[in-house]
Amino acid sequence: MTEEKSKIDEKNKDVAIEKQPDTWAEAERRAKEEAEEAERNLAVLDLKTSNIKELKNFVKAVDSLDELKLIIDEMGIHLWQLDPSGISMTIADLPKTLFSKWNIKSGTMGINTDKLKEAFKSIKNNNVLSIKTEKAKHLLNFILPNTNVEIPYFPVEKVMEKKEPNVEFTTEITVPGQPLKEFISQAKKNYEYVLLLAKNKKLILFCKNGEGKLRKEIPLEKEVKEEAAANFNLDYLNKLVKAADKNTNITIDMKTDQPIKLRYNNGFNVTYWLAPYVDEDIEIKDQIKEATKGIKQEKASVRKKRLHS
């Protein structure tokens, strides 16, 4: 029996019991007030940029979310949000320095992620892009020299409190993004989850199911202070590293059987929290033993082949 279980907010969320409204009229009044407040808080944008690659990477970086609840202020565009399942959290900051024109009214804005991805398909990396809101119609205009793409946006009644889980990590590692991204992309085709094991001076990636095994080592520059290991869903992990490229270094904070904190900069800062994959039939100690034993056997086999070559 397998189960996806979020530990992200298990010990950290505040439980608030709200007083129930006395009447339906009271409930409707509150809902109306919240909607009006959200409408007043809508951001207004008048932007220009030629940093299209960074914006496209930002869209990739938030792909685990169905809708984006953006916060816009004088520093840039920010996002702090759980995915719909509660398995992962995304924290992203797109700085205003990426824009040559930055005229805004601070506020919030909701956008459908698929519609935003679709809009950027028609925008080339060498374009100069203007972005303007049409508040009366709730339209976000992407203006290019020869075309204009419009997508709807909507008021946001509530944004998530800026509070990260309280995990006392035992290990911090930094790995090149490209080999990690390539392994995850390959592994998710045949496997459901991957063991991340930080041990000595390497990150070991290990997948196993009834049909086979897949293993990879990524060298680390520094030896880890304490061994740490946990399993993670490959589909989720793939979305979190999607915006990384060959020049991206990814920092991962770990503690055995706890959520990981994964962060990198690709023209903007992005941080993710991902809860571990939980399976009652999996013993993490047995996994570690098999993953490390397999690597030693593999190395011994290679040495033997060389001796006989």
pTM of the model: 0.83
Residue 186: predicted pLDDT: 95
End-to-end CA distance of the chain: 46
CB neighbour list of residue 163: distance below 8 Å, 6 or more residues apart: 12
Tell me what percent of the residues of the chain surpass a pLDDT of 70: 88
Give CA–CA dist 171/156, Å, rounded.
37
Residue 22: predicted pLDDT: 62
Place of tokens 């109306």: 32
Residues of the chain with pLDDT under 50: 1-7, 10-19, 296-309
Residue 301: predicted pLDDT: 35
Domains of the chain, earliest start first:
35-152 (3.10.150.10), 171-307 (3.70.10.10)
Residue 52: predicted pLDDT: 96
Q: What is the three-class DSSP state of 32?
A: helix
